[in-house]
Structure 1
């Protein structure tokens, strides 16, 4: 089914809100806020609020552009068929214009209200997701999530730069944590929705390389995540509280990944290990970044590295 074959129905604000992928946006806002709060120095509350608002608006704009470009693909997938465009509640040009407006506004406000380095990184993150990942990588390579993971890794870096006005090693490591976390997080999901991707011709790892290879790589990236997550503490950018939390949470991440990796095929158990890993991966990122913020109070460090 193509979007052109669907009769457009009356839209309301909830359909435009759905274009912003609010569930994904909540994680973007949270990690961006944590980057802002963990950064050394201080920022005026109004300017800080403006920075986080711009991160949210920019993420929403990129998500709307993603759905505009992939409307026909979404129509062919059970998981996404109820979105505003494939269901016919919005026209594609409206989603495109909405996404462009949000993206441009977020970058302009960030530059004018905060500073232009944060605005430039925000613009890069939008282009990374809407163009590099959505248009170029996703339909062409099973490594789409590996390379495209950078799209969701920018918010803590932007939040940090909004406070400090500079890029240092600690916020780069925060970027790398999300970059490394994304493949096992998303491939766990892809394992139990791979038939959707196969139906619409998206070369996700389980579809192209098979389940066995995907499961091995989930474990590999989970193991890599351990030293990457602990690295901010190793370099002295955080205190002991974050270091202990990162080590414990990452070890548990590996523990959830092991049963997924050891299965050579999909038995008829509802994909429970894969779903548990996916659920824990979301919990992991929230708690890890919460520990980053708590560390400033508990350990008395400002993350100056």
Structure 2
């Protein structure tokens, strides 16, 4: 792989650089000024030196690359790589990733020697499709998953930023132990009490697929998945523009019935929902839980409902 200015071998910020004060309110102008002062191309290093949360960097249309370019730390190409802008806008869709299995495989595709889709196990191919639809929820014009994932190799800036973001998440306290599904749903790479977005859930269930239904066209309501005998239910609980100005993720929760439930915001097609996943033995329905959004935003109240579809096992 050719050298890229965003690639860094530093993964552990220096303790002496930790700020002693609470960061000022995050605006693009403030973040650009802080980037100049921090004078680093490493995302984790910047966050540690400034005391910022990673969500500060990805507010609105901001990304780590755009901040570096505005701070004159990274040259702006005279001829942008086709598709780079759209892919950079998808970086915020990875902030919720909180398990090592997913972040590890996602990160492999940011490397120049990324694995070939056809060489992956069936389980890992499903996770690769989750990555694919998280980057291109309208398929991005790709005829196959292989074509899409291979095209990332030419996106040096996108791969560099996504690699840094996933590395930061991998070493953060967001990562929690996996509680995979079992029994008839063991092939679905979703873990209980972990966060997912709509594209990942539909891809994991096999509902979203090339040549079929795409995640961006599933709005809200019930989607019956006959292969897994599972309902995907998305419910709009809160339409506040303030609360939904940032992407929200899914918290998977145990429930007695094979139902995925959740809430979805109004367009653009990013959603927030809480899902209920099946378990071998009946359990009490969980109490309503609060899922906190991005830093500085009011938490959203989400309910989990678990009940089998009438007439279904």
- TM-score interval, smaller chain: under 0.3
Higher RCO (C-alpha 8 Å, min separation 6): 1
Q: Where is the strand percentage greater, Structure 1 or Structure 2?
A: 2
Q: Where is the helix percentage greater, Structure 1 or Structure 2?
A: 1
